[in-house]
Each structure stands twice: as structure tokens, then as C-alpha cells.
Structure 1
């Protein structure tokens, strides 16, 4: 006998299949419509599922059935299994147990989430292989994965690399979310919900210690200040020695040093009005970030300008190790990665008539203070590469969600403004002449020619976005729900790029390095050599455009605890502007025709099946998807119109395609045992990309009609390469995560509780780590295994843990270093780490 009608009635009482999604509008996590009573997920399984009823002030809400993941919205229940989206929910306790205290560690739990970072600014987050161009940072474009914390949109990924502070849960939504989650969520969204203030006093504290001098502390206290006012204050700090030893400085680099503080006030002047004021401050100040020597590959550059010949010009120089897993480097420039961010927000929720009116007002800032070694060697080639940035961001969202028996909807508006200002410096050292100039030139043997050449950069972005959106749910029958949505977006970007390059002329004076042929030092041999390396450039690009995103969801209750759904979405990622410089024309003027980046246009199809069985002790969800993107924003390298300096910048690939199948399974056969298995198969390719950057084996050579064989020194290289049919970077065809936990009743020192052991693991198959696939930058498949064991009661939890237990040696990313010398650098993953944690609640 089918129970679908009964299920439908229960769901309607909890605001419908997508009701909590609709209340979320564009700025809140799916299933995270936290009213002031504090939405609670169920006790999480290792895979993010749940095992017990939600905790709530409302007894009806507290009576959730086993196997549900429940949150509250206006004191009503929503089960994740009723939401026709590919969504994974991870509770805060799961994050704590598995040591997933930032987004990077979250990837071990989510097979289709990819995270690549060489420092906070150079960070890329993709879902199903799409979201951000690989390998090139540019302030003038947007990410395709939306990051939301407590309903506030974080525009820059770098501003979201903070450690999690008092997180209640994280939802990862896969696929375009353009109408519900707004701006530039063509690949999906990551929604982080922190714990809300409570009107009952509560607190928790946690201390961890481990090898590499790892120390981490967390504390959170919440309670009432009056009958209508509650507060919560949370603090998190992490410190760890680096895992790579720099033989030049004598420091362990790539350390961790972070502090996070979050506070919130909840005011309930009446049962119908809730006002939440939140503020946070986060600081990361590690000795970071550096890469290690991975390997050398032969390019088409002249043999005397490749890595082996160039390093031989410096007698006595030798890389500290050619085995990257010796974890040694010799970077000689100062390293820093100070990343400060914070902000404040006010959220007002007013139960008005048959719906809820919500306003979210927020301001955020980001201060980035980097120092880098751009040549990736121990030679003084680049002595400074420092581009500090300050950003201010303002957002305002207003939405109204309406609910009725057959129809519910949300309508709203969103405004966003960002100002981003970078003032940086790049300086070359005494080794630059030999490294960067042709050996046939006598100037290459004079260290003074390029020593002290300086580029002072002033880069400004003003970014405005306005939107109106609506989403409708029509419950056509007791089983069928039809959900169309639309969003109209206006985007405007104004940029300013001014790079002033100066160097020493042959007469010893400091001169501007310019492409202006009328400059009296234009033909000076020293300034000419400097101009071939870098020259001044100024331009002010602009972009503005309207776009319309729309989608249609169909969901059907096949039977009790079995729902099928289908989705079509037409989504956009706004266009952008190049703010890292553009190629120059032969007359020295910037090639403004490539300063603007066209919007991405996404067509997405998805079908899914959500099921629970065995008395809801088991959950199996299946998803199939097909995503096509026209004008995909990608990295290119070009010497347009005979420019004598190669430039990397963003442009548009004609078309990419990503398609695949995902499965999520979790089971709790008893109170003692739980397990999960998540997997994804992803087929991905550039369908058409004829002017892509060439891989290193087809780069660095001369120009001419006859192109040399790959990896043949001294031959001609193509200006661009056709990579149609090749892999997208960063995407594994196969990815899995799995784990289990087993517990037994136990009594320790007179305290009754549970003794438990847990195991979690992940696997990724081979993937490309370069914008265009190279024979030198594929990363082999790897697996990571983590174990934990401990004893817990209602009041405390003490456990030991081992992460990367088998000390798997693998690369997080491989990068082609500048200059086509053949040097490949590596970002290493953490080695085996171990330690212990004590957690208290009161």
C-alpha cells in the first residue's frame, strides 16, 4: 500500500517539498532556515546522515523519526529526503570527529568537491569539475561555487578559507542554484550554518594536540541575557608547525596559525519577530606558502634556456632534494600569507500573514598580505612578489516567503557591492639576468641589467550586482510538485590597472620601462632587455550586462520514502574583466579586445532518486547529471599581435561538458553500528577549445610555420593549442568516500558511556593539474585513510586520532613554473598526523 498521500500531507504541514529552500531565498543554506529557536540537525552519522530526533523548543519538532535529517523553519519540520536537489548535509559533530575544520579537509567527505590552494588568494573550489578557472588568480572574475555563511554571500573564495567556528552543519548543493542562491552559483553552493544563540545556558570546549606541534582549542558559550535576548560567543584557534623545511631560511613553512572569533545576539521582541546580530573576526598568519621541486620536464625552449642549463650558470647551486616527499625547499624570498577577514550582519525575520518576511544586511572586509617567491628556486631571480589586497563588500537581501495548501512561493531582491584594491610590488634580483635573458646576449652575463627592476601595481575593482528573483511551488497533486523559478540579474564591473615598471638604464639612472617609442630611453640596450621581460601598462576595463536564470523542478512521490525528481536549469556566471594585465599590441598599447570576459551560459539537466528503506535505517540516493557550458571562462596564454611578452589572462572556451552519476548510501543497522559509502563517476571534457594555453612540452620555442615535436628543445611552438576533447583540470573520473563507526556500552572511572572506534577514507583517481593537460602534470590516484577511537558520555568525549594513517605520499597540485624552463613545482598534502582531543559540554 502506498503512503505517498500521507507523506505529502506531513510534508505540507512542514511547508512543502521545497518550503525551507524557498524561505532560504538566495542567501541561506538549503535546509538551514534557522528560526530563533535554533534549527538543529539530527545526531550525525559519519557520512553526514542522522540518527535521532531534532532538539527543539517545540515538542512536535522534537519527535522526528529515526533516519531523518531535520531542521526547523518557523517551528516546522523538513526532511532532506523530501528536497529534490543533489545535496549533502554534514553535521558539526561529524566535522569535529573527522578533523574537517576547513573547506580543504571537507573534500575528503565530499567526492565531487574539489579544492586547490597554493595560498588563500590562489584558491579554487569546484563542484563536479566546474566553478573556477584553474591556475590563474584574477580579481575581475567570479567563482562558480557560492559560499554562504549564516545567509551571507562571500564573494571571494580567499575570504572563505577560514577555519570553521562553532559550525552547526554544512550543506553542499551540487549543480546550478541560480534562482534560489543567486549570484554565480553555476556549479553549486556551500552553505555553512553556525550555531545560533539559545535561551538555555549551554557551553562546549575542546582541546586537541598532536604531532608537528599541532594545537587547537575551541570554546563556545550561549545563554539568555533577558527573557527576549540571547547571546552566543565562540572562539577557535589552531597552530601547527609547517610540514616543509626551508633550508635557506631555516624555517618550517606551510604552517598553520589561525584565530577565529564569532559572536551573535538574538532578540525576540515577540513570537513573530526575530532579529539576529552577528559579527566575526578571523586571522591567519602562518609562515606560508611555498612549493617544492617535483620534477623537470623538457620543453621546446632552447636547451641552454631550460632548467638544467640555467641552474648550471650558478656554480654550487643545487636543489636540496629531487624527491618532493623529502619535504625540502630552498626558497630565498620572504614568505607570508597574512589573511584577515571579518564582518557584521543583521538578519530580521518577521512572520507576516501566511508567510515570512526576511531581511539580511551585511558588511564584510578582507585584508590579504602576501609575500611570495615567484621563481620557485633558491636563486635571487624574483626577490619580491607581494600584492596585498583590501576588499569591502556590502550585501542586502529582502525576501517574502508565502505558504498555502496548494501553492507556495518566495519573491525577493538582492543587492551586492564590492570594492577591491590591490597595491603590490614585484622586484627582480641579481640572478634574473642570467635566468630571464637569452644566453646569446652579453647582457645575460651582467647581473646589474635586471637587478632591481621593479613593477609597482595599482589595481582597483568596483563590482555592482542587482537582482530580483522568484520561485513557485505548485502542488499539482498529492504526489506531484512543479517548481519553476526565475532570477533577473544586472552586473557592472569597473576596473583600473596601472603597473609602473622601472629599471636601471645603461647609464646608471632609473628609468620607466615603457612601450612608448618616443621615450628617450626606448632604445637603450638595458631598458630594451627589461622591456622584453616586463613593461608598464595602464588600462581601465569595464563590463555590464543583464542576464536571466531560470529553472524547472519536477518531483514525484513514487511511494512512501521514495521520491523521484527531474531538473532543467539555465544559469549564468557573470562576465568579468582581466585585471592581471593583458598582452600588448606591436605599438605597445594594451590589447583591450581581450580585457573583457564574456558570461558563462549553462544548460543543466538532472534526474534523481531519493530512497529510504529497512525501517529508515538505510538511505540510498542516486543522481544523474549533464551540464554544458558555453563561453566557459578559462586561462589562456598569448602574445597577441606580435607582443614580445607572453601574458596569461582569462578568456572564453567555446564549450565544455560535464556529466556523471553520483550515489550516496548510509546505513545504521543498530545503535552500535553505522556506515556510509559515497561515490561519483564524472565524465568531463573541453568539447571545443581551440585557442587554449599549450602545455609545457609544446611551449617555449620559437615562432614559425613548422611546429616541433613535443618536448623537443629548440623547435617552434604553437601560439595556442587545440585541447578539444581533453580533460578539464582538477577532475577525477572516479571519486569515493566511505567510513564506519562502531560503539559498545562501557563504564570508565564510574562514568557510563560508549567506547567507540571509527574509520573514514577517500579515494580519487588520476586527474590533470594544469589548465591544458600535460605529460608532466597528471596526478596519480590516491587514497587517504583516517582512524579514531575513544570514549564518550553526554558530558565529554576523549579520543585519539590518526589522519592519513598510511602516510600516503601524494600531490594536491602540480604547477608549471614561469618561463618554460621545465621546472614543475608541487603542493604537498599533509603527511601522517596523529593526536588526541578532549571535548566537554556543559
Structure 2
């Protein structure tokens, strides 16, 4: 029996056994505590909401060791969160649908909202969440109520607020890889009408990947370390029972090193790119295709310095007993400087400097107003949303001292030198591309969401949102060491040179390869000739939802829903060029138009929310069918990122979640299963923005989407009991299963992740009054090797010949373990 079948069978047997046990012992009367969610911008029981929601309490997050949205995946079926070239590039996907990172111009398909404030990119929301009340993962389009760009779902995070009683807590953590962490918080009243909460945390860890530098300028001998601190302060003002204001200020600073890819697959041809890299600088990369020895190669630094800060205010005013006005205002700024060894070898090929000149900054101002109330059988809500986002980025990709020798001397067999393109004329060390982009985006929306109860059992919810999205992008390109303009005039001479082939076709192919190799995006100063480039686009779209639900009994509610989702179009913030074939050969021209169209989705769901055996077991299930049009795909082709819109992607499947309070006192369980077929519908080259990209995407038509396992399942259990008159024992185990899926946007076979089970665990003891506790914990307890993202080795791939190509990967974390001491005062 294979792993997938074993896990599925075990899960089914476990649930059936637990259900049977409950049926026999239901008289003991244990119940699942009511789960309150805000999926419709008002507090409701999870069992009354006609939306697929996985709700995770703050206590379970703590027990499972979840401190950021990437670790949340272990508790959420159907959710995948990965990071790539640095940990500011984080991507969340729901039901196999999301947006590949590494391109700040591309917005997220899964929105992240923290305390009511929309975060512009998943990476901007990556950080220590601190003290959290709960996290709600809403699956499917949520474009009516949740900000913008939520065509696949929403991760809604609610942090713990100020309390009216005085509380103080601290935590100290020590683990392998030199891990240390310290947090502290205090919460309580300041005056009769004012309460506050202050949280501070700092975490540090050595890297878990060894790095060979071969004496390069990089000083660090490991990678994937951790070093940051976070502050969050809150004030809650309640002058009357009708009026409250919650003000939150937060600040995070990170100074870390991440991420060096490892070699997933290295072609075995004697003239393969990996072999040529090692011929240029011996020992520069691993030719054995054994990525999980966690041996990386880099001669340049992978510094990442991030500063994230913000201020928000949520005001709630109960105008009458039945009408509430809510205002959520926020201003935020996120800034990162990133260095990168961009070839992921110890040879000095290409790099992004770590001197602060390679950076991204987001400035955001947002305002939401909602007026909600009840009138008889009608529960109504109207509102408006405004957000202004300023995105500034400088992207530098420079050639190292080995690039000419490797690429010109070996990949192109030294032919360019024969036509005068010598090292003193092109691709000099320190030259390269230096591009600056400044984008201003303004979004405003009007929305309404209304539920009408025809009877006590039958309810209809209708929502509508009008969105206006405006973007203006100003770009300026700079290229030094350019080789393209010098190479193109030699095409005819090369194509007629008998030394390049015995036939005209062979010579033509060789000339195309040589000129093409000298006209890669960062080597083409046609971009400089564009001067200051301004692009703008304006979109107006309607999105909305209709949900009909019927409560058959206090324990059973079913619903059918339709949602129309919208994700704005935008601009690719990377170089795009087109190839024009002329009588004298190919002409590689800079493309000033980097825009792409909005993404739309139509989603249908048929679901049920059920309670069993005296509310000791909640089982919620939904079948879904989602059709995405102009799906925004971001893919790395080995030299640049390109954004393409795929004509149609269909995602269909079933979500099941359960929450269970067995008849064993102190034991609580929750989990779920998602089965999803997320498939790219067949398309032709003519349907792409740029038909010449079809070869890079040729595996996609008719295939399962990348990062889209057909099966995923999660299971978490917490057990606590007295072990003496004064001591309590507490334990937790959380596991996540995913079936086989591909981690590369081009679906290359080397980038496949096999079926995987990740397990986290924790055990602890402490007094019954919770004054202190000591916990032993482990993440990835079975030390599974797994792949986060597979990608083409930069300047090391021939898309038509795997035997000479190098494919790399960013790995998941190995087993980590340690001890945590908690104190409550």
C-alpha cells in the first residue's frame, strides 16, 4: 500500500472509530466550543456561515508551533505557503491557486488581512504574528468584503487585543541550530476607559544549510538563518458601551541570510552547463543531483534586511442597538534590501549587490468604512474601501568575474571573441542591468452584503462590489557591458561560417544560439533607448456573490453559492523583449509594454455545515467548481521573470473540515481533507500575450497546475490531563499530508515533490493555574526532505536539452527541536 493510500485509509478509519466511540459514549456530554468567525465582517458561529472556513485558535497555533503564515499550512488542508529566493518572497495558494512570487509587480491571489488591514503582498505579511486570537482561512473568491485581489481566498488574522484584567507573560525558547527566542507581553487597564497591550519578541537561529564559497567575498558559511525582533503596542479606548477605538502600532526589523538554492538535477553531458561552470571555477557546484545533503554553493552574500512598520485604528460606534458604524484606517511602510548570489554556484557569474542598492519599498494608506445593521429579517451591510499603494524598486543584476569566461568562452564556445567581442568590450565584471521602477496604485470600491431570512430556516445572502483600480508605472532602464547591439550585425556572417556547421540549417541554428546568448534581457541596451517609460491602466469591475442556505434542523445547514472574483491587472517589473525576424537575422527589441490583464473567476459551491452527537463533532463539507479566466502566471525562464495570462484554469474538488471533542476528557481534535483538480485548460501559442513564450510553457496545456496537490489533509490533536494534585500535562501533535505535485511554474519533471507527511509535536508540564510551563517541541519530527520551489538554474538551462541543463531548488526546513519555558505573572 502506498503512502497516500495508507494515510487516507488511516484517516478514514480514525474518524469512523472516533465517531463510533462518540455515539456510544455521547452521554458524557462533551461539546466543541462555539467557533466564532468574521468571514462576513460580523461575528457569527462557524456553523451559520455559508463559506468554507478553516478556523484555528490562538491556543492551537501555539501548540503547533505556528508563528507565521508559512507554518500555518500544517493546520490547514488545501493551503500551501512557500518562500523562494529570499524570505520576503512568500506565496500563499488555496486549492492549488495562487501567484508565484519574485515579482513585486504581481499582486497576490490569496489576500492576507491582519486586524482588518489588507497587506499588499503575501511577503509583506510574512513575520512573527505574536499573540494571536485566531486565524481564519477563507477558501474561494472573497472579493465582496475583503479588500482587493482575493480571487483564491483570504487568510484573516486576528491578533489578541488589550484586556480589562492585568496579565503579563514571557517566553524563552532554545533549540538546535543555535535557536533562541524571547518574547514578553503585558496587558491590562490604564484608566477606567483605556486599556493597553504591549508585545515584544526577538528570535535568532543559525543557518541550516552549509555553504561552500571558494574564497569569494561572501563571509557567511551557512544560510537560512534567522535574526529579527518585533514590537506591537495596542490601545483600546471605550468611553461608552456604544463606542470603542482600537489603535495598533507595530514594528519589525529583520537582518538575515536567505536563500541559496541547491542543485536538483544536473545534466550529465560532458559539455553540460554544470560541467562548464566547474571547468570555469572547479568545485563551484554539485554535479551529483543530491540536493538534500543541504550543501549550497555561493560566493556572494544573501543578506536580507527588512523593516516593516505600521499604524492602524479601528473605530466601532453603535449608533443604535441595531446599527453599527465601523472605520478601519491604516498607514504602513515595508522596505527590504536584498543581496543575492543569483547563479547559485560558487563561481562568480551573476549577483545582486548587498550594498542597499537592490531594494523594494511599499508604502500604503488604506481606509474602510462599513455601516451594518439589522431590520427585522434583514441583516444588511454597506461600505467603501480606498487604498493607495506606492511601490518603488531598484533591481540590479551584475556580471561577476567568471561570467565572460563561462558563458562566452564555454557555452558559446568562444565564438564572440572571434568577431571582436572580447572581455574588454562586453560583459565586464560589475557591469549589468540597473532598472528603477516607481508604481502608484489607487483602488476604491463600494460594496454591499445583505442577508434576508425568508423563514427561520431559509436565508439568502447577496453581495455586490464595484471596484476601480488605477495604476501608473514609471520605469527607467540602464545597461552596461551590453553585447546585443554588437552581436546582431554579425548574424549573417556567422550563419555562413562553415566552422559552425556542415549544413546551412546547422549554421543558422548555431548563429541564432550565439546571437541569442548575447541578447539576453540584461545584455540588451535597447532598453536604455526607451528612456523614461510611463505606463498606465484603469480598470472598473463588478464582483459579488449570492448564497442560499437552508437549516434543516439545529444540527444541519446546507447552502449553494455563486461568487464572482476579480484580481487586478498590472505591470511586470522585469525586462520583457520580443524577437523580430528579419532578412538579416533576429532582432531582439525591448518591449515597453509590460502590462497584463485582470484575472476573473466564477466559483460555485454546494456545502453543508453539520453537528453530531450532542455537538461533540462538527463536520463541514463543500464541493466547489472554480473557473479562472486570464489566470496570471509568473514564471522564471532562467534569465528573467515573465507574466503570462493563461486563458482558462479550472479548479474543482471537495473540502471537508471537522472539529471533535471526544468522550476522553482533555482531548480535542480538528482537521480536514481537500481534494482538488486544478487544471490548466488547453491553449495555443496564439492565445498568449507573447506567442514566443509557448516553448517555455509547453508542458502546461491540459496539465495539473503547479503547487496543486490533488490531495491534502491535516490532523491536529491536543490532550491535557492532571498528573498530580498540582501539575498538568499537555501534548499536541499536528500533521499535514500532501500528495505528489510539481513545484515549478513550467512543470519540468525535475521539480516534482513526492507525497509528503510533515509532523510537528509538543509536550509540556505546568501547574494547574498556568503560572508556568516547560515544553519540549519539534518541527518536522521525522526529518522529511522536501522541496519548496524548483527553478531553472540561471544561465544554466537549455529548454530543449535536459542533458546539458541544471535545475535548482529551494528546500524546506529540516527537523528542528528545542525547549520553551513560559511564565505568567
TM-score normalised by length of structure 2: 0.83
State the shift of 1:320 in Å: 8.7
* Structure with greater helix share of residues: 2
- Secondary structure of the residue that 1:120 maps to in structure 2? coil
Indicate the residue corresponding to 1:613 in structure 2: 612
Give the stretch that moved more between structures: 374-383 or 576-585. Answer: 576-585
Indicate the residue corresponding to 1:139 in structure 2: 104
State the shift of 1:397 in Å: 0.8
- Secondary structure of the residue that 1:232 maps to in structure 2? strand
CA gap of 1:70–1:598, structure 2 versus 1, over 3 A, is closer
Query: Please, what is the CA RMSD of the aligned residues?
Result: 3.0
Q: Mapping of 1:678-697 within 5 angstroms?
A: 678-691=672-685
- Secondary structure of the residue that 1:553 maps to in structure 2? strand
Indicate the residue corresponding to 1:433 in structure 2: 404
Give the stretch that moved more between structures: 546-555 or 813-822. Answer: 813-822
Q: How far, CA to CA, are the matches of 2:623 and 2:317 in structure 1?
A: 38
Indicate the residue corresponding to 2:703 in structure 1: 726
Give the stretch that moved more between structures: 813-822 or 546-555. Answer: 813-822
State the shift of 1:659 in Å: 0.7
Contact residue 735 and residue 763 of structure 1 kept, 8 A: yes
CA gap of 1:117–1:474, structure 2 versus 1, over 3 A, is same
2:546 pairs with 552, 565, 583, which one?
Answer: 552
> Are 1:582 and 2:576 an aligned pair?
yes
2:788 pairs with 812, 825, 839, which one?
Answer: 812
Q: Mapping of 1:44-123 within 5 angstroms?
A: 66-70=32-36, 78-118=44-84, 119-123=86-90
State the shift of 1:88 in Å: 1.0
> Are 1:756 and 2:730 an aligned pair?
yes
Contact residue 274 and residue 285 of structure 2 kept, 8 A: no
Q: How far, CA to CA, are the matches of 1:717 and 1:687 in structure 2?
A: 14
State the shift of 1:722 in Å: 6.0
CA gap of 1:739–1:318, structure 2 versus 1, over 3 A, is closer
Q: Mapping of 1:472-487 within 5 angstroms?
A: 472-487=450-465
Contact residue 779 and residue 814 of structure 1 kept, 8 A: no
Q: Mapping of 1:236-635 within 5 angstroms?
A: 236-248=201-213, 249-297=219-267, 304=271, 306-315=273-282, 317=284, 319=286, 322-353=289-320, 354-384=322-352, 387-437=358-408, 438-441=412-415, 443=417, 448=424, 449-452=426-429, 453-503=431-481, 531-532=519-520, 534-536=523-525, 537=527, 538=530, 539-584=533-578, 586=580, 589-592=589-592, 595-635=594-634
Indicate the residue corresponding to 1:38 in structure 2: none
State the shift of 1:67 in Å: 3.1
1:665 pairs with 658, 665, 680, which one?
Answer: 658
TM-score normalised by length of structure 1: 0.82
State the shift of 1:246 in Å: 1.1
- Secondary structure of the residue that 1:546 maps to in structure 2? strand
State the shift of 1:592 in Å: 4.0
Q: How far, CA to CA, are the matches of 1:667 and 1:242 in structure 2?
A: 38
Contact residue 374 and residue 385 of structure 1 kept, 8 A: no
CA gap of 1:246–1:96, structure 2 versus 1, over 3 A, is same
Q: How far, CA to CA, are the matches of 2:466 and 2:778 in structure 1?
A: 49
CA gap of 1:777–1:529, structure 2 versus 1, over 3 A, is closer
Q: How far, CA to CA, are the matches of 2:590 and 2:517 in structure 1?
A: 19
CA gap of 1:350–1:513, structure 2 versus 1, over 3 A, is farther
Tell me how many residue pairs correspond in the alignment.
731
Indicate the residue corresponding to 1:56 in structure 2: none
The Cα offsets for residues 524-551 of structure 1, whole Å up to 9 and x where unpaired, read as x999986555223243222111000011
- Secondary structure of the residue that 1:231 maps to in structure 2? strand
Q: How far, CA to CA, are the matches of 1:176 and 1:528 in structure 2?
A: 42
The Cα offsets for residues 676-732 of structure 1, whole Å up to 9 and x where unpaired, read as 3311111111013334999xxxxxxxx9xxxxxxxxxxxx99475262211101111
Q: How far, CA to CA, are the matches of 1:727 and 1:176 in structure 2?
A: 20
CA gap of 1:77–1:339, structure 2 versus 1, over 3 A, is closer
State the shift of 1:802 in Å: 2.1
- Secondary structure of the residue that 1:107 maps to in structure 2? helix
Q: How far, CA to CA, are the matches of 1:260 and 1:77 in structure 2?
A: 29
> Are 1:194 and 2:194 an aligned pair?
no
The Cα offsets for residues 611-654 of structure 1, whole Å up to 9 and x where unpaired, read as 1111111111111111001111113689xxxxxx9754112111
Q: How far, CA to CA, are the matches of 1:290 and 1:718 in structure 2?
A: 27
> Are 1:176 and 2:154 an aligned pair?
no
- Secondary structure of the residue that 1:776 maps to in structure 2? helix
State the shift of 1:599 in Å: 0.8
Q: How far, CA to CA, are the matches of 1:201 and 1:309 in structure 2?
A: 65
Q: How far, CA to CA, are the matches of 1:648 and 1:317 in structure 2?
A: 25
Contact residue 693 and residue 721 of structure 1 kept, 8 A: no
CA gap of 1:689–1:220, structure 2 versus 1, over 3 A, is farther
> Are 1:652 and 2:645 an aligned pair?
yes
CA gap of 1:169–1:596, structure 2 versus 1, over 3 A, is same
- Secondary structure of the residue that 2:271 maps to in structure 1? helix
State the shift of 1:765 in Å: 0.9
> Are 1:778 and 2:732 an aligned pair?
no
Q: How far, CA to CA, are the matches of 2:639 and 2:293 in structure 1?
A: 34
State the shift of 1:733 in Å: 0.8
Give the stretch that moved more between structures: 150-159 or 667-676. Answer: 667-676
Contact residue 331 and residue 378 of structure 1 kept, 8 A: yes
State the shift of 1:303 in Å: 7.1
Give the stretch that moved more between structures: 174-183 or 527-536. Answer: 527-536
Contact residue 297 and residue 776 of structure 1 kept, 8 A: no
CA gap of 1:202–1:637, structure 2 versus 1, over 3 A, is closer
Q: How far, CA to CA, are the matches of 2:487 and 2:813 in structure 1?
A: 51
CA gap of 1:610–1:753, structure 2 versus 1, over 3 A, is farther
Contact residue 577 and residue 588 of structure 2 kept, 8 A: no
CA gap of 1:303–1:548, structure 2 versus 1, over 3 A, is farther
Q: How far, CA to CA, are the matches of 2:77 and 2:794 in structure 1?
A: 31
CA gap of 1:527–1:590, structure 2 versus 1, over 3 A, is closer
Q: How far, CA to CA, are the matches of 2:517 and 2:98 in structure 1?
A: 39
> Are 1:840 and 2:808 an aligned pair?
no
CA gap of 1:646–1:231, structure 2 versus 1, over 3 A, is closer
Q: How far, CA to CA, are the matches of 1:297 and 1:517 in structure 2?
A: 28
State the shift of 1:430 in Å: 1.8
State the shift of 1:310 in Å: 4.1
Q: How far, CA to CA, are the matches of 2:515 and 2:653 in structure 1?
A: 53
